[in-house]
Structure 1
Amino acid sequence: MTRTILITGSSSGIGRASAKHFHEQGWNVIATMRGPEKETELTALENVLVTRLDVQDSASITTAVDAGVERFGRIDVLLNNAGYGAYGLLEAIPMAKARRQFDVNVMGLLETTKAVLPHLRANGSGTVVNISSIGGKVTFPLGTLYHGSKFAVEGLSEALHYELAAIGVRVKLVEPGIVDTDFAGRSFDFTNDESLAEYQKLVGAVLEGQAQLGAAGDKPEVVAETVYRAVTDGTDQLRYPAGPFAAELIAQRAATDDATFLGGIKNQFGI
C-alpha cells in the first residue's frame, strides 16, 4: 500500500524539499501551504495534492486533513514544518508578535497534530515528525521568542512520544542547523528600537554574526533526507540532528557546562 504524508509549510524551504523527496520515493503527498493558488511545480506532480492549510486557521486545518483523506484514503505521516521566527529586543517586540510566534510554532503544530491523530489511531500506526531546530537545544542572543517556541516543541514532542506509543504512533524530532532557505526573507521577523540605545551595540554584533552564520547553511534537501530517514528507519529514536553543523553543536552543548558554552556564544558574537 502506498503511504501518504501530510506536510505543512510546503511552499518553500524544508517543506517543499520534503514534499519533492517523499514524492520521488513513491509516496502520496498532501502538500499544504497558505497560498496554494500560487503553486505550479508541485501541482503538476502525480500523487501530490496541493491544498490550503494555515496553522492559525482552524477551519483550514480540518479541511486540508479531510481533503487528503478523501484523495488518498488515509494519512500515515504528519510533518509539522510550518514555522516563523521572531527575533529582536524583547522590550521592543509587541505582544501581538510574541503571541503569533507561539501560535504558529506551537499552537498551530498542536492543532494540526490533533486533527490528524484520529486517522493515525484508526490505522494503529503512523509517525508525527516535528521540525525543531538547533534553536530548540541552544540559544543565540535576541532569540527569546523563537528559542522559547522551539524549546516548547522539544518538550511537547518528548512528552507526546509516551502518549502516542499507546496507539502505535511514533514521534520524531528533526533538528536542523543553519539551513539555506528563504526563511530570512519570508519568515524571519526582526524587531529593534534604536531609541533603546543601551542595546544597540549588542544588536549590531548579533546581526553581523548571524549574517556570517547564514553563509554556511545546509541545503533544505539535507533536512528532507533526514526527515525521510526518521520516518522509515523503523526505530523509536526520538531526535535526529540534520546536518553536520547541527550534530556538532548539539553534541557540544550536551558535553559542556552552562558557563563555558554560553561564554563561547558570547565570544562568537563579540558581546
Structure 2
Amino acid sequence: MKKTILITGASSGFGRETVKLFNAKNWNVIATMRSPEKETELNKLDNVLLTKLDVTNKQSIQSSVAAGIEKFGCIDVLVNNAGYGAFGELESATEEEIRKQFDVNFFGLIAVTQAVLPGMRENRNGVIINISSVGGRLTFPYCSLYHATKFAVEGLTESLQYELNQFGISLKIVEPGGYKTEFAGSSMSILNADGPADYKPSFEHFMTMIANWPMSENIVEVAEAIYEAATDGDEKLRYPADIHAAELIQTRHRMGDLDFKKMMAAQFGM
C-alpha cells in the first residue's frame, strides 16, 4: 500500500524538491503552500494533491489535513518545512516582526503537528520530520530571532520523542547548511531598517558576507536526507543534510563557547 506524506512550504526550495523525490518514489504527496493556484508544475504530477495551507492559519491547516486524509486515507509522514529567516539587530525588531518569526517557524510547526497527531496516534504509526538548520545547533551574528526559533524546534522535537514513541510515532530533525534557495530571497526578512546607526557598519558587513557565502546548488541532498529520515526505520534523531553542515556542527561541539564566539566574530569582522 502506498504511503502518504504531507509537506509544508512546498512551493519552492527544499519543500518542492521533496515533493518531486517522494512522488518519484511512488508515494502519495500532499503538497501544501500558501498560493496553490500559482503552481504550474507540481499540479501535473500523479498522486500529488495541492492544498492551500498557511501555517499561521489554523483553519487552513485543518482543511489541508482533512483533504489529504479524504483523498489518500491517512498521513504517514509529516514534513514541517515552512519557514523563513528574519535578520537584523534584536534591539530594532518590532513586536510584530518578533511574533511573526515565531508564528511561522515555531508555533505554525506546532499547529500542523497537532493537526496530524490524532490520526497517527490512532494508527499507532507515523514519522514527523522537522526541518531545522545548522542554525539550530550554532549561531551567526544578526540572526538571533531565527536561531531562537530553530533552537526551539530542536528542543521541541527531541522532547516529543518521549511522548510519541510509545504510539509508534518517530521524530526526526533534518539540518541543512547553506543552499541556494529562496531563503536568501523571498524567505528572508530584514528587521526594522530604522534602527540605531551604531549597528549599521557591522550589519552591512554581515550581509555582504552572507551574500558571498559559498552555497550549494544541490538542493536534492536535503530531499534525500528527508527521504532517509522518513524511511530508515531508525531511532536516529538528527540528520545533517550535507557534509559542510556536519563539519560545522562538529566544530561547534569541539570548541568552547568563548573560542567559537571569537572565531565567528573574526569571520564576520566584528
Map of 1:235 onto structure 2: 234
1:32 aligns with 2:32: yes
1:166 aligns with 2:157: no
- 1:2-151 alignment, distance < 5 Å: 2-151=2-151
- 1:148-227 alignment, distance < 5 Å: 148-193=148-193, 196-213=196-213, 215-227=214-226
- Percent identity between the aligned chains? 51
Shift of 1:219: 2.5
Shift of 1:37: 0.4
Give the superposed CA RMSD: 1.1
Contact in 2 for aligned 1:133/1:175 (Cα 8 Å) = yes
Contact in 2 for aligned 1:218/1:243 (Cα 8 Å) = no
Aligned partner of 2:267: which letter?
A: Q
Contact in 1 for aligned 2:92/2:194 (Cα 8 Å) = no
1:255 aligns with 2:268: no
SS in 2 for 1:166: helix
Contact in 2 for aligned 1:177/1:218 (Cα 8 Å) = no
Structure 1 CA distance, aligned partners of 2:97 and 2:13?
A: 22
4+ runs deviating over 6 angstroms: none
TM-score, length-scaled by structure 1:
0.97
TM-score, length-scaled by structure 2:
0.98
Structure 2 CA distance, aligned partners of 1:195 and 1:157?
A: 34
Contact in 1 for aligned 2:94/2:192 (Cα 8 Å) = no
SS in 2 for 1:54: coil
SS in 1 for 2:29: strand
Aligned partner of 2:13: which letter?
A: G
The alignment of Structure 1 onto Structure 2 pairs a total of residues equal to 270
Segments of 5+ residues of structure 1 without an aligned counterpart are none
Aligned partner of 1:118: which letter?
A: P
